Structure 1
Amino acid sequence: MSEKDKRIRLLSEGKVSTVLLKLGLPTIIGMLISALYNVVDAYFISWLGPSQMAAVSIVFPVVQVVIGLGLTFGTGAASCISRYMGDGNMFAANKTASSAIFSSIAAGAAITIVSLFFCEELLIALGASETILPYAKSYFTVYMLFATVGVCYIAMNNVVISEGAARMSMLVMLLGGILNILLDPVFIFMFRLGVYGAAVATVISQISMLAIFIWYFSSSRANVEIAPRHIAFEKKVYLDVLKIGLPMFAFQLLSGVSMGMTNTAISEYGDAAVASIGIALRILALVSYVIFGFVKGFQPLAGYSYGAGNYGRLKESTAAALKWTGGYCAVVALSLCFFNHEIMGLFSHGDMNIVQIGGSVLLCNGAVFILFGFFMVYSTLFLALGKAREGMILNLSRQGIFFIPAILTLPGIFGMDGVIYSQPVAEVLSFALAFLLFIPLKRALDGHAGATAFAPDHGV
């Protein structure tokens, strides 16, 4: 039996719990590695002081935009490549992959030039104070000089996954994460480079991952060939890539904007406040990435079951996903609520301001975290069934539709507490919206209504 037939049989006949684990686990591991070395980064930098920690938090929204550019070309190309490989059209697959990867290089170069030209203005707009700005410029300059590397390796990683080489992707991400963790103390403390050294460690790990991906695509291991001769400046190629990629960029951009607005709102309360928010957000990202990875495994199972008209299996997989994510989120929620000060204490080094402010952030977000799993399953289900409009609205609700009004109004009413409350308020409202949108879909599922009730919405 071919690998393709095995994957189809797994989706159509495999035990739901087994399918969810096999499809979701590699993605969970890859995303956890990425989130983990961000947390470890924060741990080492926190030894330097609150201003240095705050500086990295100020730069983080820009990092999100760099990731977004890589995902724009990577996920967009991956969607096309998988279909072309399924059709046996390797010419089109090579053309799409090469056009997307070399375009990602151009996009990375463009953002490097623009960001470095407006470096100081951008950092001040993101909330950098006089004490934070020198450290932020140091980290920002190094990272953005090599932004092209970051954009390109992320794009290549998605193309590798589109080939079905999830294990290769996971191993490369693992290597990059371990290398970053090992180099952090060397450059930060041994070479006494401080925040500058943290950026150097990150860049070296990214260069290493990119080098391995280049080797992979240059070897006989890869099915897709990436080369300048395959580049096609054709409207259809870029429309197909950007149709899938731009929503990913919009999500990452909104994430960066929301972080920037949070940093700006909290900056008037001092460097320790900015640092504590940055640490707490990294911890929340770490526990959230498990859900992000899991629903990546749930999406193809739900989509395949729907496409096959097997609504019983669709209901079973949805129920299992809700049960598993709900249980995990309940455990995390309790941990954040009862051990928030202990968790923040690992990064505070005796600074009780960081413990108190960061602990409040973890407590408030932990109190509503139990809703996060349900929200992600609902929003993923809409996308899996082709309900693009509902899926898009839900994906933009947490960091945009509800969060931006909250961060603009609540701090004026509640002060610093208003900054802390903004994300939990957005989480609750986003869940309520997801639940309301899910009600008619659930009725159709329960009634086995058939294809008409589940007709994909091709508009956005």
Structure 2
Amino acid sequence: MPSSPSAPGAVSDAASASAGETAPRRASADAQYRRMTGAPVRGLILALCLPAVISNLVTTAYNLADTYFIGRLGTSQSGAIGIAYSIMTVFQAFGFFFGNGSGNSMSRELGKRNTERAARLLAVGFCGAVLGGCVLAVIGLVTLPRLVVVLGSTPTIAPYAIAYLTPILLAAPMVCGSFALNGLLRYQGLSLYGMIGLVTGALLNFLIAPFLIFVVRLGITGAGIATAICQTISFILLVTFAVRRGVVTLDVRNSRPDMLLVREIIGGGMPSLLRQGAGSLATTCVNLAANPFGDAVIAAMAIVMRVMLAINSIIVGLGQGFQPVCGYNYGAGLYRRVKDGYWFCVRLSTIMLMVIALLAAVLAPDIIALFRSDPQVVAVGTVALRIQCCTVPLNGFAMMSNMMQQTMGKTIIASFVAVCRLGLFLAPAVLILAHLFGVPGVQAAQSVSDIISFIVTVPLQARILRSLGKPRTTV
């Protein structure tokens, strides 16, 4: 159970100094605390989620831009995007592990008015993500020719996947660092700065990618170079914001961890790591299941996965607006505000997903054809997208529950729920259904996983909500 909130003046001068605070920054931290624990919950979540939703949509557009431009080059090149997605998901996994692992604890510490601890969590999360990216870059570059085959490349897709991924792997430290910093800013209630950093890189990608692909004639290699350049630009902007605009200052000298801090980060970040790792595993299983049916099926499923990512990114953004509110108020012992915010997000996300799913199902052939006009790709992708639209409204409850569990530090439950939808259920479902039913099994597997995950999440989340009981204090 979280400790009761400290008095406004509880942070000592020595602690503030060690956290790198100045008097204006302490005043800013106090104002942010009052806002996060006192402002009306619904308006606060909407204000925080809008930059997060925009960030996610533009980041998804970042991915869809590559899918669109590379789709003009050929079906095998489109398939290479599906292979690359597995590796990009691993980058996200490491970035989210350190960003959310540090950020969840950081928001609770800010709720307790412990800025010194919050500053240390910020520094360790950032440095861990960058170092993790360096490790991934080395491993990926050394094993890349074999790795793309393991991830499901056909002989015709593999050369394009290697060409696309090589420059992206070189930028892995910046990619992981950007994902982490976006979360670390968001958990301070500073979603706007995270949005600016990510959106700037994404918008530049719309300009640089087609220039390198078609004008300079670098083909799919140009798309990879463009992505690496734009991710680096986003990284630089996010570091600048974290140093100059954060509630607590990013200072790498605070990055020396202790065992308690390491346990906090692992506990808070494990659900994100497992969620993203499961996503990478599931994507690989989809590619492997689609492999016997040819490049067109791999390309179609790659497009559908990107489209569903775009749809879910809206709801993820809403949840990201809820997480700092949850963390601050859970840390401050204001449990009623936590529950009110949760149910508001569940209702709103479900309604939004129902509307979006209906539109996507009606426009499915046009959506798939936008990325690849190959008749076989359109036919396979249309059916897969429409099936998934039938169950995607269930994700509102599942995602919000998982984000709440993670932010509250419920590591075991959050980790289990995180892997259910994309790993524990989807991976075996797509392999089994593909074997039994062929291409229709590949197309339906995600919806089967969504239904089972929803059923499993309901009793687990009910237990979490009951554990909150009545708030100890009110604002």
Instruction: Using structure 2 for the length normalisation, give the TM-score.
Output: 0.85
Name the SS for the 1:232 alignment partner.
Answer: coil
Work out which of the residue numbers 379, 387, 393 in structure 2 matches 1:364.
387
Partner of 1:18: 43
> What are the residue-to-residue correspondences of 1:302-341 with 2, within 5 Å?
316-341=340-365
Partner of 2:291: 267
Rate the CA distance shift 1:98–1:431 in 2: closer, same or farther, 3 A: closer
What do residues 175-223 of structure 1 show as CA deviations (whole Å, max 9, x unaligned)? Answer: 0110111111101100111110000000010111122234445658774
Name the SS for the 2:450 alignment partner.
Answer: helix
What do residues 340-380 of structure 1 show as CA deviations (whole Å, max 9, x unaligned)? Answer: 1111121123x111111111111010011122212223334
Work out which of the residue numbers 195, 202, 207 in structure 1 matches 2:232.
207
What do residues 268-310 of structure 1 show as CA deviations (whole Å, max 9, x unaligned)? Answer: 1111111111111111101101111112233454566677777
What do residues 229-281 of structure 1 show as CA deviations (whole Å, max 9, x unaligned)? Answer: 44426434433322322331121111101001101110111111111111111
Partner of 2:76: 51
Work out which of the residue numbers 75, 78, 81 in structure 1 matches 2:100.
75
Instruction: Give yes or no for contact 1:406–1:425 (8 Å, CA) kept in 2.
Output: yes
Partner of 1:376: 399
Residue identity in the other structure for 2:352 = Y
Residue identity in the other structure for 2:305 = L
Partner of 1:64: 89
Partner of 2:437: 414
Identity of aligned residues (%): 28
What do residues 75-102 of structure 1 show as CA deviations (whole Å, max 9, x unaligned)? Answer: 2233444455566666555544444433
Instruction: Give yes or no for contact 1:90–1:224 (8 Å, CA) kept in 2.
Output: no
Give the distance between the partners of 1:389 and 1:402, measured in 2 at CA: 18
Residue identity in the other structure for 1:59 = A
Partner of 1:246: 270
Work out which of the residue numbers 165, 168, 172 in structure 2 matches 1:140.
165
Partner of 1:38: 63
Rate the CA distance shift 1:248–1:135 in 2: closer, same or farther, 3 A: same
Name the SS for the 1:264 alignment partner.
Answer: helix
Residue identity in the other structure for 2:358 = L
Which sits farther off after the overlay, 258-267 or 313-322? 313-322
Instruction: Give yes or no for contact 2:108–2:328 (8 Å, CA) kept in 1.
Output: no
Give the distance between the partners of 2:117 and 2:332, measured in 1 at CA: 27
Rate the CA distance shift 1:373–1:158 in 2: closer, same or farther, 3 A: closer
Instruction: Give yes or no for contact 1:93–1:224 (8 Å, CA) kept in 2.
Output: no
Give the distance between the partners of 2:355 and 2:417, measured in 1 at CA: 24
Partner of 1:456: none
> What are the residue-to-residue correspondences of 1:370-449 with 2, within 5 Å?
370-383=393-406, 387-438=410-461, 444=466
Residue identity in the other structure for 2:58 = I
Rate the CA distance shift 1:377–1:222 in 2: closer, same or farther, 3 A: closer
Rate the CA distance shift 1:21–1:133 in 2: closer, same or farther, 3 A: same
Partner of 2:149: 124
Name the SS for the 1:369 alignment partner.
Answer: helix
Give the distance between the partners of 1:384 and 1:225, measured in 2 at CA: 21
Rate the CA distance shift 1:431–1:86 in 2: closer, same or farther, 3 A: closer
Give the distance between the partners of 1:410 and 1:449, measured in 2 at CA: 42
Which sits farther off after the overlay, 195-204 or 326-335? 326-335
- Measured after TM superposition, the shift of residue 5 of structure 1 is 5.4
Rate the CA distance shift 1:208–1:441 in 2: closer, same or farther, 3 A: closer
Rate the CA distance shift 1:439–1:204 in 2: closer, same or farther, 3 A: closer
Instruction: Using structure 1 for the length normalisation, give the TM-score.
Output: 0.87
> What are the residue-to-residue correspondences of 1:164-313 with 2, within 5 Å?
164-216=189-241, 219=244, 223-227=248-252, 229-232=253-256, 234-301=258-325
- Measured after TM superposition, the shift of residue 11 of structure 1 is 5.0
- Measured after TM superposition, the shift of residue 153 of structure 1 is 2.5
Name the SS for the 2:155 alignment partner.
Answer: coil
Partner of 2:13: none
Instruction: Give yes or no for contact 1:216–1:222 (8 Å, CA) kept in 2.
Output: no
Rate the CA distance shift 1:344–1:72 in 2: closer, same or farther, 3 A: same
- Measured after TM superposition, the shift of residue 408 of structure 1 is 2.4
Which sits farther off after the overlay, 351-360 or 245-254? 245-254
Instruction: Give yes or no for contact 2:345–2:400 (8 Å, CA) kept in 1.
Output: yes
Give the distance between the partners of 2:338 and 2:265, measured in 1 at CA: 28
Name the SS for the 2:277 alignment partner.
Answer: helix
Unaligned runs of 5+ in 2: 1-7, 9-26
Unaligned runs of 5+ in 1: 453-460
- Measured after TM superposition, the shift of residue 127 of structure 1 is 0.8
Partner of 1:102: 127
What do residues 10-44 of structure 1 show as CA deviations (whole Å, max 9, x unaligned)? Answer: 55554443133123222111111111111121111
Residue identity in the other structure for 1:373 = G
Which sits farther off after the overlay, 177-186 or 340-349? 340-349
Name the SS for the 1:118 alignment partner.
Answer: helix
Which sits farther off after the overlay, 212-221 or 20-29? 212-221
Rate the CA distance shift 1:200–1:255 in 2: closer, same or farther, 3 A: same
